[in-house]
């Protein structure tokens, strides 16, 4: 059965047609339509129709190649059949929809989206017979969808859409963010910055090293997405996963081997054990991997927002752009905020999808069918989040002067270095000595130097201590930036 209901009318607000982005129900196809457009071939209804057509055509071709079946296709006919999905057009999509909801080309309305694809291919076979490409369309028609259940087609079609959506759209978008972070890391590898642990001043770092942490984390998380995407797995085993219809028709054919060969021919892994439903553990793993990427970027969005708030990061103003409707001086960190909101929405959707698609009552229920139609929405929120994070990174300008001023105003952060050097010299009271000087007090470098003058240490150690400064106490932070490429 179809999951769709037809719109009640053609007009939206103030006479706007429903096709106008201003009348879109979702901002994914309205406000953010230009950002989500790259996903349209993989997330749209027309894209799903095309993918189903591909599965049905390739299945027909594989059936015809079996010695057991009474049909055969020459190269010209195979090419003509493949053209049904390779040249799939808007008119083709509209015809399939008409076959489903209205009836067309002599067929009554199917009220079934996969059956509509089957009838669409029958129409195309008739066209090929009329053109002389096919000798007997009627003889081939019974072999379209032979022995299949709709889920055999759907589970493969969804993965044929999801896999390139991730590899061709999402992965490159994440790599752009990762590369932007790596560029910032390398450019500012030596820019000293006060760190904060528990929100309090802590051992200094460099801005570049902090960006390198995110670049490295994002690279690892992206690697998990690539692996999970490569592990997408399909099934083709009939109504209850037993190959019963196939075996009844041709018991001498090794249908398990046929299924594995066919699924792998679509560049998917093969699921040999299933009910009518592909268990979808592969989808859950991919959704979880995408959430891992999103979590890294959510962490980045929050830190970037705080760095802007602390004036560690300035933002390039866009000529003519309004920052605040009432405060003209403001340049708000809206890109990071927008990224945060969209990635949070994406993660909510991905968690729901991962939980939902792995469950089915007994051998099959249809609740997952409508849910899977929302995978594209989750990917779209991911894509918006990635592009907005990249936009934000392109606008930020590290404010080294502010960073150095705050470091100079927080000399207590060298306390860790002082007590560690004193421990090295055998001072068992080193920690307590520095704690007494610094905790709960406002101190200066002169206070430290007064302490150094009272210490019973060699003069070279005293000079080592006097040379300590907050801006210089960054360890090997600049060298750690090279770990991005390690």
As annotated, the active-site residues are 198, 324
Is the separation of the CB atoms in 312 and 398 below 8 Å? Answer: yes
Tokens 């068992």 appear where? 428
* C-alpha to C-alpha distance for 367 and 305, rounded to whole angstroms: 40
- The answer to whether 290 and 167 have CB atoms below 8 angstroms apart is no
Using CA atoms, how far apart are residues 54 and 48, in angstroms rounded to an integer? 10
Q: For residues 265 and 411, what is the distance between their CA atoms, to the nearest angstrom? A: 65
CA 53 to chain centre: 26
Termini Cα distance of the chain: 52
Tallying the residues shown for the chain, one arrives at: 486
How far apart are alpha carbons 483 and 467 in whole angstroms?
28
Residue 372, both tokens: 């899977």
Q: Which residues contact 88 (CB under 8 A, 6 or more apart)?
A: 46, 49, 50, 53
Residue 412, both tokens: 């207590």
Q: Give CA–CA dist 130/172, Å, rounded.
A: 44
Sheet strands (E) in 325-480: 396-398
Q: Say how far apart CA 88 and CA 97 lie, in whole Å.
A: 14
Q: Angle between the 150-164 and 113-130 helix axes, to the nearest 10 degrees?
A: 90
Contact call for residues 386 and 177 (beta carbons, < 8 A):
yes
Measured CA to CA in angstroms, residue 274 lies from 150, 155, 240 at distances of 14, 11, 8
Residues 6 or more apart whose Cβ sits within 8 Å of residue 234 = 155, 156, 159, 263, 266, 268, 269, 270, 271, 278
Those residues with Cβ within 8 angstroms of residue 482's Cβ, 6 or more apart along the chain or in another chain: none
Q: What are phi and psi of 407, to 5 degrees?
A: -60, -45
């Amino acid at each position: 059965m179809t999951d769709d209901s037809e719109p009640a009318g053609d007009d939206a607000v103030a006479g706007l047609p429903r096709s106008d982005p201003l009348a879109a129900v979702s901002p994914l196809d309205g406000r953010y339509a230009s950002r989500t457009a790259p996903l349209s071939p993989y997330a749209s209804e027309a894209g799903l129709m095309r993918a189903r057509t591909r599965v049905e055509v390739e299945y027909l071709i594989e059936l015809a190649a079996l010695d057991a079946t009474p049909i055969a296709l020459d190269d010209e006919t195979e090419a003509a059949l493949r053209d049904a999905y390779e040249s799939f057009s808007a008119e083709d999509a509209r015809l399939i929809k008409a076959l489903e909801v209205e009836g067309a080309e002599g067929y009554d309305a199917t009220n079934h989206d996969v059956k509509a694809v089957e009838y669409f291919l029958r129409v195309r076979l008739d066209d090929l017979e009329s053109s002389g490409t096919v000798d007997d369309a009627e003889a081939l028609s019974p072999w379209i969808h032979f022995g299949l259940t709709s889920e055999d087609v759907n589970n493969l079609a969804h993965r044929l859409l999801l896999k390139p959506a991730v590899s061709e759209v999402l992965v490159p978008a994440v790599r752009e963010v990762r590369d932007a972070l790596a560029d910032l890391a390398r450019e500012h590898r030596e820019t000293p910055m006060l760190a904060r642990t528990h929100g309090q001043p802590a051992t200094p770092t460099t801005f570049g090293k902090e960006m390198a942490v995110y670049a490295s984390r994002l690279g690892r998380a992206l690697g998990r997405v690539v692996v999970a995407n490569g592990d997408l797995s399909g099934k083709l085993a009939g109504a209850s996963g037993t190959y019963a219809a196939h075996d009844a028709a041709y018991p001498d054919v090794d249908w398990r081997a046929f299924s594995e060969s066919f699924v792998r021919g679509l560049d998917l892994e093969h699921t040999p054990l299933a009910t009518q439903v592909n268990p979808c553990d592969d989808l859950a793993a991919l959704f979880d991997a995408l959430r891992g990427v999103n979590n890294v970027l959510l962490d980045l969005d929050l830190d970037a927002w705080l760095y802007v708030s602390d004036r560690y990061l300035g933002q390039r103003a866009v000529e003519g752009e309004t920052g605040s409707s009432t405060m003209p001086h403001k340049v708000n960190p809206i890109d990071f905020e927008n990224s945060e909101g969209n990635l949070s929405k994406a993660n909510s959707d991905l968690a729901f999808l991962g939980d939902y698609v792995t469950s089915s009552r007994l051998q099959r229920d249809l609740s997952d069918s409508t849910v899977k139609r929302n995978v594209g929405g989750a990917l779209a929120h991911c894509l918006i989040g990635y592009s907005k994070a990249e936009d934000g990174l392109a606008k930020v300008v590290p404010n080294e002067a502010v960073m150095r001023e705050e470091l100079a105003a927080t000399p207590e952060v060298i306390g860790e270095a002082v007590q560690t050097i004193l421990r090295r010299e055998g001072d068992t009271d080193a920690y307590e000595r520095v704690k007494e000087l610094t905790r709960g007090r406002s101190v200066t470098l002169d206070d430290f130097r007064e302490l150094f003058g009272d210490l019973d240490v060699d003069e070279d150690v005293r000079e080592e201590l006097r040379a300590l400064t907050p801006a210089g106490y960054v360890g090997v932070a600049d060298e750690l930036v090279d770990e991005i490429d390690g």
